[in-house]
Structure 1
């Protein structure tokens, strides 16, 4: 053995040499195998660690991340074709919850990571090869990690639309390769660091919609590569350097609106010849608009509104002539400045692509140029609140695409051109507060999409054309303060969508037509100051949503219809100075002298409120005789009825049949067989929901009439279910309200197995529950702000009725989104009275009269005092309602996993008010607002909505908390803020500090009126 050791060593050495050679050959010919398996394994391991850091994956996008597939085929993963290494990670819009794993830093070939619209928290570590981080719209929390500045190869950082706080780290100035820095729509504070000015390759910079302040670093204006420069809606001060266009020659879009900048608008912007968007609105700029803006051939959007430009002099608008060279101009917004002089005829030579012109709120005089008719692409034309005089140009009829025309608040005279009827796409026409005369052109009836028509405060005469008053698309119609005559046409009954109808202060005669009761959406009705005669239409009682009604100063006679007292939402009723007579109703609005006026009707009597100061109604002898006769007759009939009833029950007690619960006796009962057939044997395909005491099925009772219903089948095996059925029957027996789910009948029988069966049959609500809309998984549709506002009003109206207007009063005890159902028109209906309590009418305390069920609601929604055994109360419902309101506008359940360590939904909202609304509002709601907002740029899909404007200048103090929240309309944020305040007031810990539903409903109506008024008065189109 010893003699052969040298040979053995030589053998092993040669073998090792051969193996090494073979490995090198294999590495050359098989590049995707052994040599690179180590790198591939690193990527796979890093991705699995990334998956481990995900807490929830509701859409299941990471289900493919397992060993059954190569990781390059996993959802959201892209690999390079040569090395099979991960080069892109895209999990945007995946609704992932968790942290970003530090192992992401081991994906050394990664060039792009896109996690937009998720729910990540920042937990990044150094990733030396990472060149692209896009976390746009992920609702991140915390601060921007300073160590991002050490990732020297980063080319893109996208942290837009999250909840980041703190300042911008100066270390970001070390990222010399970065080109895209997006920090928009967060809650950042402080200054923009001077170091950012060192980023010489930066071409996209956005910090809009934060709380940044101070001076903009001068070095930032010297980055010559800059293309998109977005500082909108902050508190930046100072001026823009005069040489900005020279130092930043590649600018394409500039958004500096909504700050506190001052000085003059630099004319050097014209040196950046590629600019297509220039927004300097809502600042404190002075001087004139530079004429050299006409040297920007690509200019599409120019906004200088809400500044102090101009000097009310004749040459203020001379710059318009220079804009003729901007052949791509789309939007020109000059509103709310100090412009004087006349509108030059050269405005007609502007771009044929121009879709919107706004000059409102200035002191422009002269006549409106006839040549405006040449701008045949116009969609919106706003010249309101100026000093224009003369006639409305007939050439306006050439603007066939026009949708919004606002000329109110000028000095226009003459007739309304009948050619306006050619504008068949018009949805808004406001000619109010002028000196127009003559008749209302019947041709306006050709404008079929018209939603708002306001020609009030003019000198119009003649009748209302039936074609105009019958426009079913109208939401708001105001003809007040004219000299119109004739009758109110019966076509008024066609206004199925009308919200506000104002024909006050005219000379209308005749009777108010009964068909006005067909205007089912009507909430504001003003007919005062006319010559109407006859009786008040009894059909008004069908207008369940009516809130303001003014018939004062007419010649109405007869009695006040008693059914008006059933209008539970009525906040204001004025019947003064008519010839009304008889007894005044005693319920509803007639119990509130501050809301009702009856003065000037000398023949009225009675009433239930002494402040009306009405005499008692006389009792006539004939009436006394009739009363005595009636009493005798009733007594005799009662005796006979009692005898017959006794005999009937004796006979019936022998049979003891299983009957329908006596609580529901206003519809015929249905059999188990009928329900079984209607649901295909209670097929799972017809199941639409389930709860603690039963399941809900969809069925068709009558296939010929396609009578679709919802059937709540009680699970009698569940403890308390039978009592729940009885409670719900009693609660639903006598209640009637448009915002309560309507019960049709019930079934109490035996099923085919001889087992007891109970079910309630309700109207079917085609749009499902509020819970489904707020938390639907696919996110395909979302509730708009107006829909949410209407729903909270509907639910408040239902609770107000249950608490204060039904007999006996009812406490719902389980107010939550899943118990709010939506019909075809998205009207909300409160349902599920299985836990309801009836309040005793003999005591003011909330003693339970119909149920001893221990549960008083659902975790998260139940009032905190219920945990200590306190009896159910109105205040408990109010608390649940408050939580529901907060959930509707934050998109977060009260049991959301983020609410830990004592943090509650209420605290989450309270801490954000008033200045951080944009951080708590439901992202789905923000998306619906932004869909209708003006588009800032198509390149980066950033949407903007301009602030609304009216003739009254709001105080700066009032807007201070809103103006920097977002790019949204200030009125939108005021509405949302007010609703949050109501939600907080309703969800106070102490029951005695909570609002009552009467006050909640009143305040919500005010918010609703204010917001809808803004919606229907906003003349500007949304892009």
Structure 2
């Protein structure tokens, strides 16, 4: 009997064991069937999920072999929709759940936290929303979490950052907020992939991220991260680092540390730190990055300096982007060694010099963007080797020569931008072979000759702009066959002949501009020509129309119709009237020339600008500035740009003048123009820039144009001399030169404040508004914000502009709404003095958190001011002389130079005292300009007498 007991016990054990397995297996089956019943299945992918079959054989289900428990559920890409059923949390043996690439909506059930064995959770590319359950942080075995491309919002649960087993974390493209923990990397020691891009994460990216030493890919782009750029040390496996489109900042020093921190990341392939607030220069250690680098992008920052050398080591580089920064200097020729380069994007910088001949080896290049720089020279024919080029932009540079024929052999080219250069010669006929071409902009050059008829073969053209060139001849008759054209601009050329009827067939045209040519004949009346808003034909005086609407709205002549006699009569009458007018004009001209011949010498000698027409036109200015060429641009301000122009006298002589062209897109530019004209109408002083005349007319597009023509000062402005002058070029201002300039500026202000009736406040005094002539005499300019200071409150001020001025130079009381005053100008002058003699701008980065230039200087005693704050370049010459004399052992010379050095330091201290006296906080306690000028003159006399 006893022998049956063990067998009985074993049987009972097996019965209960398999019964438990069966029960648990049924639980999984029921959970899956419940899931099926609550989702929409348009592809019938779950049709085989039947109660009559083993659930372990169902589509997407994987079970354990022994117990038939569901371990994996993979239903990706089946277009399933509905909410996520909480019953899935009953699959307690589940290791992997992948429901990605469907259209599930609603929230993640908090009960998913019960899936304690879960290692892989992928819900990416659905329409899930709401907050991510904090309870997911309880999934301690989770290694793969992929919930990107949904609509999740709210704070990302910090509990998930505590899952130390995580290897892959992606929440890209949601609306998640929150900050990264300071000890982020310490919690995730096994993390290899980190994708948090395109959310609303904020705060500082902690340097502790480097403690997750297994990281291979980091993507934090398109968030709201702030603070200094983090350092990524010891990430030896790093291949992708993407930080673009945040608000991360840097300096030259921090840039060095950042690139140095990546020295050990020898597998790095992608580095993108674009669209941030990075500043300063890129260090030479840039060349220490991994030779595996494929994509490098620092676009849309505030980086300065030159593009670093050492790029030829990056033979795997595919994309190189430096656009929208402030890089200067030449483009490194070693870029031409990057055989695999596909994109070179450097537009909108300040690069200069000739374009190097780099194109011969760049046979994989498909995107070349170099526009909006100051590049010169010519476009090299070797560009024809870039057979895969789709996009070419060298616009708005200083390029000359002809357009190489090789460009028009690039059959894959889609977009071609050559505008805003000084390119010459014809457009070659081979342009017709460019069948893929969609956008062409060759405007603002000096291209000439006929428009080649072969351009009619570019059937994909959508945008063709050729304005402001020297094209002549007729418009190709079949240009209307370019059925895809949306914009055609041929204005401001010398085109002749009729307007082709075929242009009326352009079905998609939105802008047709043929204005200011020499076109003639009847204006077509069909197609686009029935919509007056889509075409511009102004400035073609020999055009006529049969349409009353066109005649009335465009001001063209009606075409003459009727009998032959009537057609002959009008030209005859016009000819007779014209001949009579010409005869009378010649008689009058002969009489006036005879009368003025005696006066000419006296007239010219008494006023050197008398020969310049006072009724100056837009056309005169356009010719004088060479069509507002970039090389003639000498300055740019808030209300416009200043160009150098060469004008012709009535005597045949020429003179160089400055032309301030108002940007009338600025809402207050017209008021600035009026204020400046009013302020300068009656003032005369040797230290004020003289306005010769003004221009208020229409440009060739019929748009309003305003400009001031002023004396040209060849030595530029004071700002440039202070901050960019150097001894080698001879542009460094000496101590005496600065003292003389300070006296000149003070003299101008003293005149405006004390000798004008009513007094005038300049309201925008700064070094950029002080110009220097050939003798280094200073002249104050830019009266666009000037105010008349009437004593009688009832008298109206001539300028009604909102007072602004320039940051760093504005008197503190203006910030509280005080009216314009001479005391405000005195404050600006004091800041200018301190800037001249310390070499520091009032907007320098060091002046923040309440510290300003004048407070910085006033916090020091006199000795510190000279030794610490003063611009050392002012007295280095004296120190050098002293050292030289000492080395030659000339004791008398040594004593003399030592006294010179002490005198120079004394002079600097005196000037800085004047500056501080002009910048005290209380306006009534500041010196006036008469006292400041007197003190500066006394300082100069002391130096001269010594």
TM-score range, shorter chain: 0.5 to 0.7
Distance 1:547 1:51 in 2: 60
Task: Describe the shift of the 1:399–1:51 C-alpha distance in structure 2 as closer, same or farther (beyond 3 A).
Answer: same
Q: Which residue matches 1:719?
A: none
Which residues in structure 2 correspond to 1:125-136 (within 5 Å)?
A: 125=111, 126-136=114-124
Q: Does 1:273 align with 2:266?
A: yes
Which residues in structure 2 correspond to 1:183-582 (within 5 Å)?
A: 183-194=171-182, 196-197=184-185, 198-242=187-231, 244-246=232-234, 248-263=235-250, 264-265=254-255, 266-267=258-259, 268-295=261-288, 296-311=290-305, 316-317=306-307, 319=308, 321-350=309-338, 352-540=339-527, 548-561=534-547, 576-580=554-558
Distance 1:508 1:84 in 2: 85
The Cα of 1:536 is off from its aligned counterpart by 1.3
Task: Describe the shift of the 1:397–1:293 C-alpha distance in structure 2 as closer, same or farther (beyond 3 A).
Answer: same
Q: Which residue matches 2:62?
A: 78
The Cα of 1:64 is off from its aligned counterpart by 2.8
Which residues in structure 2 correspond to 1:98-117 (within 5 Å)?
A: 98-117=82-101
Q: Deviations over 1:6-31 (max 9, x none)?
A: x8xx898587368569979xx9xxxx
Task: Describe the shift of the 1:80–1:417 C-alpha distance in structure 2 as closer, same or farther (beyond 3 A).
Answer: farther
The Cα of 1:364 is off from its aligned counterpart by 0.8
* Structure 1 contact 150–174 (Cα < 8 Å) conserved: no
* Structure 1 contact 114–134 (Cα < 8 Å) conserved: yes
Q: How many residues align?
A: 550
Distance 1:119 1:404 in 2: 41
Name the Cα RMSD after superposition: 2.8
Q: Does 1:123 align with 2:109?
A: yes
* Structure 2 contact 433–457 (Cα < 8 Å) conserved: no
Which residues in structure 2 correspond to 1:24-35 (within 5 Å)?
A: none
SS at 1:346 equivalent: helix
| Unmatched runs of 5 consecutive residues or more in structure 2 | 562-573, 575-946
Distance 2:53 2:533 in 1: 63
Distance 1:40 1:380 in 2: 59
The Cα of 1:289 is off from its aligned counterpart by 2.3
Q: Which residue matches 1:96?
A: 80
Structure of larger gyration radius: 2
Distance 1:211 1:485 in 2: 56
Task: Describe the shift of the 1:59–1:167 C-alpha distance in structure 2 as closer, same or farther (beyond 3 A).
Answer: same
Which residues in structure 2 correspond to 1:969-1008 (within 5 Å)?
A: none
Q: Deviations over 1:120-160 (max 9, x none)?
A: 32114121111111111212111010001111111111111
SS at 2:540 equivalent: coil
Match of 1:50 among 35, 46, 59: 35
Q: Deviations over 1:531-580 (max 9, x none)?
A: 11111112325888x95211111135443447x89xxxxxxx99635323
Match of 1:16 among 8, 31, 44: 8
Task: Describe the shift of the 1:561–1:172 C-alpha distance in structure 2 as closer, same or farther (beyond 3 A).
Answer: same
So what's the TM-score if we normalise by structure 2? 0.55
Distance 1:204 1:260 in 2: 23
SS at 2:440 equivalent: strand
Task: Describe the shift of the 1:236–1:415 C-alpha distance in structure 2 as closer, same or farther (beyond 3 A).
Answer: same
The Cα of 1:288 is off from its aligned counterpart by 2.5
Q: Which residue matches 1:41?
A: 26
The Cα of 1:301 is off from its aligned counterpart by 0.4
SS at 1:261 equivalent: coil
Distance 1:222 1:421 in 2: 54
Distance 2:26 2:73 in 1: 16
* Structure 1 contact 130–153 (Cα < 8 Å) conserved: yes
SS at 2:32 equivalent: helix
* Structure 1 contact 533–554 (Cα < 8 Å) conserved: yes
Distance 1:449 1:474 in 2: 8
Q: Deviations over 1:715-761 (max 9, x none)?
A: xxxxxxxxxxxxxxxxxxxxxxxxxxxxxxxxxxxxxxxxxxxxxxx
SS at 1:262 equivalent: coil
Q: Deviations over 1:595-653 (max 9, x none)?
A: xxxxxxxx9xxxxxxxxxxxxxxxxxxxxxxxxxxxxxxxxxxxxxxxxxxxxxxxxxx
Distance 1:59 1:381 in 2: 46
| Unmatched runs of 5 consecutive residues or more in structure 1 | 1-6, 28-32, 566-572, 584-602, 604-1023
Distance 2:36 2:457 in 1: 61
Task: Describe the shift of the 1:72–1:273 C-alpha distance in structure 2 as closer, same or farther (beyond 3 A).
Answer: same
Distance 2:485 2:444 in 1: 20
Task: Describe the shift of the 1:34–1:365 C-alpha distance in structure 2 as closer, same or farther (beyond 3 A).
Answer: same
The Cα of 1:418 is off from its aligned counterpart by 1.1
* Structure 1 contact 281–306 (Cα < 8 Å) conserved: yes
Distance 2:413 2:199 in 1: 37
The Cα of 1:459 is off from its aligned counterpart by 0.5
Q: Which residue matches 2:620?
A: none
The Cα of 1:401 is off from its aligned counterpart by 0.8
SS at 2:558 equivalent: strand
* Structure 1 contact 101–124 (Cα < 8 Å) conserved: no
Q: Which residue matches 2:675?
A: none
Task: Describe the shift of the 1:331–1:17 C-alpha distance in structure 2 as closer, same or farther (beyond 3 A).
Answer: same
Q: Which has the higher contact order (CA 8 A, sep 6+)?
A: 1
Distance 1:129 1:21 in 2: 26
SS at 2:412 equivalent: coil
Distance 2:135 2:92 in 1: 18
So what's the TM-score if we normalise by structure 1? 0.51
